[in-house]
């Protein structure tokens, strides 16, 4: 008789489909409404020439690309993939710049930029041995903490109803509260392995509450056709140097977030630092997974931080969860009705979940800071990196970035993680290691 808890909480083992499926489903539901669909709609809205059918095809393509990348992440081929059950999704970091490129040059330029940038990040993964020492433990720790902090606003936005006209309405707040309350009660009251279903229980309770309040939009179920295959290069790639350079910089920022997510997962779930092989694999997959998405006409894929928080909360580390989740994402892309059903999950339900799991990432980052050591030097790096990054990225309306070039503003003005990474790296390089800063 094997211990199913042990197998679910380790990378290896085969707990069986019945045990794996619920965890895979809650991971997919957690990322679907807030990640894949909105980004697809943002990009497609920037290209008036795209028909409604083409826009829906873009969303489906991104599901397939995210699913294939997630499977490959958990099942490495050569050096592509980390072997960790890290879920891959679209990245909001790319959404606005790619929308601008699409509006200026057409969607073919988006495809060309995604392909070129994907190869760039893949090469970055191959050279990790030469620059990994720059990312000291304290740098990774501060980045992970920043990832958690940077997503609180997004979680609150979903909790209140997203960008709907009734944002902040009492029904939306009630749905989010019920979801979060059931998650917490389940976590406290459930015994043994049942604790790991807290998120799924909360989502079911929130969905039922939304149905009773008539807040479930069933229009997403009305899709055309039952099966749809992706196409290879549905849009002819067009390469513009300015677009490639600007988005290439964002690929470097995405690599930073991926490193932070990888460190957060290994620290929060496996209680160790990532190996060099895992870092190489996760970055190569980040890049080449994006290249694959570009071949299908999609946008870049990257590790999805919300799912890292969910993994930390449940403690589930089995690779089969990611493989099963990846298959569900591919099916959602191939079968439009599946995607339609997932699209009916209300934003407040997702928000209720994210309010919990984002805190898990932040706490994991704090634990990593403690492991790196609460000496004066590390405390200074942490304090300055977080205060400057959060301060500068939340004061954009005050024009604090107005003196910087437009290219710098587009990359850093609203990207907390990128600013934290740059500042932490610089401080770690310039601050003396042998000086005690305590007074």
CB distance 424 to 142 below 8 Å: yes
Q: Where are the alpha helices (DSSP H) in 75-164?
A: 92-105, 107-126, 128-131, 137-150, 152-159
With a cut of 50, list the residues of the chain below it in pLDDT. Answer: 1-2, 4-5
- Residue 257, pLDDT score: 76
Name the DSSP class of 398: G
- Separation of alpha carbons 207 and 255, rounded Å: 35
DSSP string covering 248-310: HHHHHHHHHHHHHHHHHHIIIIISSPPPHHHHHHHHHHHHHHHHHHHHTT---EEE-HHHHHH
CA distance 311 to 80: 22
- What pLDDT was estimated at residue 206? 92
Q: Residue 382: its pLDDT value, please?
A: 92
What's the distance, CA 30 to chain centroid?
11
Cβ atoms of residues 320 and 14 within 8 Å? yes
C-alpha distances in Å from residue 360, one per residue of 133, 262, 306, 307, 357:
27, 14, 10, 11, 5
Gap between the Cα atoms of 47 and 40, Å rounded: 11
Tokens of 226: 């039952």
- pLDDT at position 354 is 77
**Adjacent-strand bridge partners of 303:** 88
Residue 366 to residues 108, 161, 310, 361, 363, Cα–Cα distance (Å)? 43, 30, 17, 9, 5
Domain regions of the chain by residue span: 4-373, 374-439
SS3 content of the chain, % helix, strand, coil (to 5): 70, 0, 25
pLDDT of residue 175: 94
What is the reported pTM?
0.71
Which residues partner with 80 through β-bridges?
77
Between CA 173 and CA 158 the distance in angstroms is 10
Instruction: Quote the pLDDT of residue 44.
Output: 58
What totals of helices (H) and strands (E) does the chain contain, helices first?
20, 2
What's the pLDDT score for residue 327? 93
What is the predicted pLDDT for the residue at 47? 61
Rounded to the nearest 10 degrees, what angle do helices 198-212 and 347-372 cross at?
150
Q: What is the pLDDT of residues 86-105, one digit of tens each?
A: 999 887 667 667 777 787 78
DSSP state of 90: E
pLDDT of residue 2: 46
Check if the beta carbon of residue 90 is closer than 8 Å to that of residue 289. no
């Amino acid at each position: 008789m094997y211990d199913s808890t042990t197998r679910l909480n380790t990378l290896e083992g085969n707990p069986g489909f019945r045990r794996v499926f619920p965890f895979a489903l809650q991971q997919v539901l957690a990322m679907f409404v807030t990640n894949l669909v909105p980004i697809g709609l943002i990009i497609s809205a920037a290209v008036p020439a795209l028909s409604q059918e083409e826009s829906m095809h873009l969303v489906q393509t991104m599901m397939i690309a995210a699913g294939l990348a997630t499977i490959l992440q958990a099942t490495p081929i050569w050096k592509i993939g980390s072997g960790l059950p890290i879920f891959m999704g679209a990245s909001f970091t790319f959404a606005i710049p790619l929308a601008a490129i699409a509006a200026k040059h057409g969607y073919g330029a988006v495809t060309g930029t995604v392909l070129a940038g994907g190869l760039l990040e893949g090469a970055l993964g191959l050279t990790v041995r030469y620059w990994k020492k720059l990312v000291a433990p304290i740098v990774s720790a501060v980045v992970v903490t920043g990832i958690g902090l940077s997503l609180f606003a997004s979680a609150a936005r979903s909790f209140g109803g997203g960008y709907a006209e009734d944002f902040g309405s009492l029904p939306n707040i009630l749905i989010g509260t019920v979801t979060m309350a059931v998650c917490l009660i389940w976590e406290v009251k459930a015994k043994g392995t049942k604790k790991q279903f807290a998120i799924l229980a909360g989502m079911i309770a929130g969905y039922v509450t939304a149905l009773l309040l008539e807040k479930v939009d069933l229009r997403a179920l009305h899709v055309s056709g039952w099966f749809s295959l992706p196409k290879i290069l549905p849009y002819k790639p067009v390469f513009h140097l300015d677009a490639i350079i600007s988005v290439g910089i964002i690929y470097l920022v995405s690599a930073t977030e991926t490193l932070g997510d990888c460190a957060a997962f290994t620290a929060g779930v496996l209680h160790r630092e990532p190996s060099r092989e895992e870092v190489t694999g996760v970055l190569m997959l980040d890049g080449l997974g994006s290249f694959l998405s570009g071949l299908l006409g999609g946008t870049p894929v990257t590790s999805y931080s919300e799912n890292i928080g969910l993994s930390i909360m449940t403690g589930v580390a089995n690779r089969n969860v990611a493989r099963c989740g990846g298959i569900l994402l591919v099916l959602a892309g191939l079968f439009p009705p599946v995607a339609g059903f997932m699209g009916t999950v209300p934003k407040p339900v997702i928000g209720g979940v994210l309010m919990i799991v984002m805190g898990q990432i932040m706490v994991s980052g704090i634990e990593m800071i403690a492991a790196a050591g609460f000496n004066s030097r590390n405390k200074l790096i942490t304090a300055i990196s977080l205060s400057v990054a959060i301060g500068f990225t939340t004061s954009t309306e005050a024009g604090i970035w107005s003196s910087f070039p437009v290219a710098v503003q587009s990359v850093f003005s609203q990207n907390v993680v990128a600013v934290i990474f740059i500042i932490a790296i610089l401080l770690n390089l310039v601050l003396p290691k042998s000086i005690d800063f305590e007074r």
